[in-house]
């Protein structure tokens, strides 16, 4: 389990050049497929909880107990099947009411609502990963990511660190940048998108 702070930015022609000039080192370039799951009533996404398979691996993102008022995305990320199943069973007992439910059990209660491929270039600089993403449906977005696996996770200090780093790279913006998921839902699942907008999730 880890606390993940992300600051999205709009990719411009010189974004990668600026990052390299500041000391960014390209670590990898990969492609992966994300498949997202929810109930028919959107119980998970309406709780700002995002369950996906990246390839064959389950991953879950959910809100931390406390969030800062910031343009950064702040989530707790869980990447083991056992911990994901425990969290979902505890948070959604009506849906997953078996205390020993596995991801196989939970997966049978859910349906796929989004699937797309992302081509990602990842750079590292200081304590940060900086990703340049392009999806197979034509959406591009950059992300500055800071992950803290310490039990004593200070959201406020991490958010401040990411925000200042974004400003130093000239990647800062005064407006919220759309995510891959938001763009996908707006284009391909407008009903789901509308419900989440009305619930102030997006």
Q: DSSP secondary structure string, 98-154?
A: -TT--HHHHHTT-EEEEEEEEEEEEEEETTEEEEEEEETTS-EEEEEEEEE--SS--
Task: Return the residue matching tokens 């859910």.
Answer: 110
Residues of the chain under the 50 pLDDT cut? none
pLDDT at 166: 86
Which residues 6+ apart lie within 8 Å of 72 measured at CB?
5, 6, 7, 159, 162, 163
pLDDT at 98: 67
The two structure tokens encoding residue 198: 């009305």
H/E element, 37: strand 25-38
Task: Return the residue matching tokens 């050049």.
Answer: 17
| Count of domains forming the chain | 1
CATH number at residue 79: 2.40.320.10
pLDDT at 69: 64
Task: Judge contact between 35 and 112, C-beta under 8 A.
Answer: yes
**How far apart (Å, rounded) are the C-alpha atoms in residues 90 and 49?**
13
* Domain extent at residue 103: 2-198
pLDDT at 60: 96
pLDDT digits (tens, 9 = 90+) for 19-40: 999 999 999 999 999 999 999 9
pLDDT at 152: 54
pLDDT at 4: 79
Question: Could you tell me where the beta strands, DSSP code E, fall in 149-189?
Answer: none
pLDDT at 77: 92
Record the pTM.
Answer: 0.89
Residue 71 CB neighbour total at 10 angstroms: 18
């Amino acid at each position: 389990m880890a606390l993940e702070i992300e600051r999205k930015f709009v990719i411009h022609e010189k974004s990668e050049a600026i990052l390299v000039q500041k000391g960014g080192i390209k670590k990898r370039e990969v492609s992966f497929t994300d498949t997202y799951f929810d109930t028919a009533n959107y119980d998970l996404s309406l709780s700002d909880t995002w369950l996906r398979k990246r390839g064959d691996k389950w991953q879950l993102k959910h809100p931390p107990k406390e969030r800062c008022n910031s343009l950064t995305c702040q989530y707790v990320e869980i990447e083991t099947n056992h911990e994901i199943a425990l969290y979902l069973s505890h948070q959604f007992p009506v849906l997953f009411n078996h205390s020993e439910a596995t991801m196989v059990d939970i997966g049978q209660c859910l349906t796929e609502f989004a699937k797309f491929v992302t081509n990602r270039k990842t750079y590292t600089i200081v304590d940060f990963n900086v990703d340049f993403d392009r999806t197979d449906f034509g959406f591009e977005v950059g992300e500055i990511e800071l992950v803290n696996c310490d039990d004593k996770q200070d959201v406020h200090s991490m958010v401040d660190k990411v925000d200042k780093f974004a400003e130093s790279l000239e990647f800062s913006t005064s407006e919220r940048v759309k995510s891959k998921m938001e763009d996908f839902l707006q284009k391909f699942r407008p009903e789901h998108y509308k419900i989440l907008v009305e619930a102030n999730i997006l």
